Structure 1
Amino acid sequence: MIWLVIGLVLFLGVHSVRIFAPEFRRAQIEARGLNTWKGIYSVASIVGFVILVWGFNIARQDPVVFWVAPVWMSHLVALLMVFVMILLVASQVPAGRIKAAVKHPMLLAVKIWALAHLLVNGDLASVVLFGAFLVWAIIDRISEKKRLRAGLTTNPVAGPVKWDIISVVGGLVLYVAFLMFLHEWLIGVAPIPGL
């Protein structure tokens, strides 16, 4: 469990600098340059992610189980993940109507993903992992609203509908890939047993 926690602290910590230490971030960018800051940020994120995945896999080998979800719950999670994948793609393309309406599709995707996985994973490692991501995404969204009110950021403006089409089609392709083979290949668990 300790490696999972270390990975989460590193990965989410790096992603929280803008939330909790914006002046530090600004000073680092001014002193080192934006590209150097992005490089440090990326390396720390990758290292944190690798450690948290490794730590999660270790922690799952000796689970402490709080609850066991009914089998039908995995179908609900599968449905929620359709929206997650569409939002993930929408977060990576220019704004269409989806991105403009949601404002922060990546954060909403993380919240839905984390909550959905908490519904079907009642072991301690999963509660720590998905709970941490859910709390982080909520805090980051609150921080985004504060930055918006302070005039430090703006909401996306709706662009051409082609970006919505790309988001939906791309999200569905990503969803099918995860459902059919990527989830089991990357995580080691079939999202819907027997599929």
Structure 2
Amino acid sequence: MDEEIYMLALILGLLIFLGIHSTRLFAADWREHQVQRMGLTPWKAIYSLVSLIGLVLIVWGYGQARLSPEWLWVSPVWTRHLAALLTIPAFILIVAAYVPGTHIRARVGHPMLLGVKFWALAHLIANGTLADLLLFGGFLAWAVALFIVLRRRDRLAGITYPAKGVSRDLIAIVLGIVAFGVFAMVLHGPLIGVRPFGG
């Protein structure tokens, strides 16, 4: 019974978190109406609160479900190393979303979503429980769908993201690698309960 509760919390958290992060795309008119009705700052506060609730449910549900895993497949040990390798570009892409004027953004348009795809795929390769499939599969499906739709909108609207110099890309790459190192070596174990490189 407890396992069902944990899985339900994970699914509900995913629906809430990914749902609120899709309002600009799939419910743009409703979002605009809410912003006009209550103001941008209250909307952002509610948006952040709903996102936090979803994230807490995801973390709690996934963390508890991992204690009694329901295995769908067992990945070879080497996939952990492949997952770590794929996570490096994920961090670089996510950082590039916040560094203006990179060639990375000019090329892919939405590096955050591409980074989420790398992250989710990497973890799907190395993990084979039902909770893993729901969490990483959910994020992967969401990122793929959103990336396709946004790229299509960019093309139709003629939107481009001009690059301002290679130095911006170097900043994104260095910060991304540093962030990966800190998270993988220091934070992943205490927060997730798994140390990617053992120890």
Q: Scaled by the length of structure 2, what TM-score is found? A: 0.92
Q: Which amino acid aligns with 2:177?
A: L
Aligned residue pairs, count: 193
Q: How far is the alpha carbon of 1:115 from its aligned partner?
A: 0.7
Question: Residue in 1 aligned with 2:60?
Answer: 54
Question: Residue in 2 aligned with 1:85?
Answer: 91
Q: Which of 150, 155, 159 matches 2:160?
A: 155
Q: Could you give the per-residue CA deviations for residues 49-101 of structure 1, whole angstroms, max 9, x where no partner exists?
A: 01110010111111110111111111111111110111111111112111111
* Shift in alpha-carbon separation, 1:155–1:44, aligned structure 2, 3 A: farther
Structure 2 CA distance, aligned partners of 1:70 and 1:192? 15
Q: Structure 2 stretches of 5 or more lacking a match?
A: 1-6
Q: Which amino acid aligns with 2:175?
A: G
Any runs of at least 4 consecutive aligned residues in structure 1 with deviations exceeding 6 A, and if so which? none
Question: Residue in 1 aligned with 2:185?
Answer: 180
CA RMSD of aligned residues (A): 1.4
Q: Which amino acid aligns with 2:122?
A: A
Q: Which amino acid aligns with 1:65?
A: W
Question: Residue in 1 aligned with 2:16?
Answer: 10
Q: Is 1:32 aligned to 2:38, yes or no?
A: yes
Q: How far is the alpha carbon of 1:180 from its aligned partner?
A: 1.1
Identical-residue share of aligned pairs (%)? 48
Structure 1 CA distance, aligned partners of 2:53 and 2:105? 29
Question: Residue in 1 aligned with 2:104?
Answer: 98
Q: How far is the alpha carbon of 1:149 from its aligned partner?
A: 4.2
User: 2:70·2:129 contact (CA, 8 Å) conserved in 1?
Assistant: yes
Q: Scaled by the length of structure 1, what TM-score is found? A: 0.93
Q: Is 1:117 aligned to 2:117, yes or no?
A: no
Range that drifts further, 107-116 or 136-145 = 136-145
